């Protein structure tokens, strides 16, 4: 799947807001605010259930990495996530 298509599918789900569980949250991290070299995917099956995390890292901006963005779309689909949230901005690795 190309990068633009992946980003659009993620953005569309994010815009829908909270629709219940299961829920997926994408959080981006990097050395600077302009380049996210890691994305943490948090999966929450139901309210009060311990979240599961998976981390993807790249040398360049993971928001522009076709393979990683396609993997995020696959995670959304395979988990049947009703809610997809994206933490705004890039948190600094520390």
| pLDDT tens-digit readout, 8-65 | 999 999 999 999 999 999 999 999 999 999 999 999 999 999 999 999 999 999 999 9
pTM for the full predicted model: 0.94
As a whole number of angstroms, the distance between CA 85 and CA 36 comes to 17
pLDDT 10s digits, 68-91: 999 999 999 999 999 999 999 999
3-state helix, strand, coil in the chain (%, to 5): 30, 35, 35
Secondary structure of 29-82 in the HEC alphabet? EECECCECCEEEEEEECCCCCCCEEEEEECCCCHHHCHHHHHHHHHHHHHHCCC
The structural domain count of the chain equals 1
Give residue 12's domain range.
3-92
């Amino acid at each position: 799947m190309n990068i633009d298509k992946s980003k659009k599918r993620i953005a569309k789900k994010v815009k829908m807001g909270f629709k219940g569980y299961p829920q997926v949250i994408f959080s981006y991290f990097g050395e600077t605010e302009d380049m996210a070299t890691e994305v943490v995917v948090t999966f929450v099956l139901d309210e009060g259930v311990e979240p599961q995390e998976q981390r993807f890292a790249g040398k360049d901006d993971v928001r522009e990495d076709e393979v990683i963005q396609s993997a995020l779309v696959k995670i959304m689909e395979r988990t049947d996530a009703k809610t997809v949230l994206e933490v705004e901005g890039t948190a600094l690795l520390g």
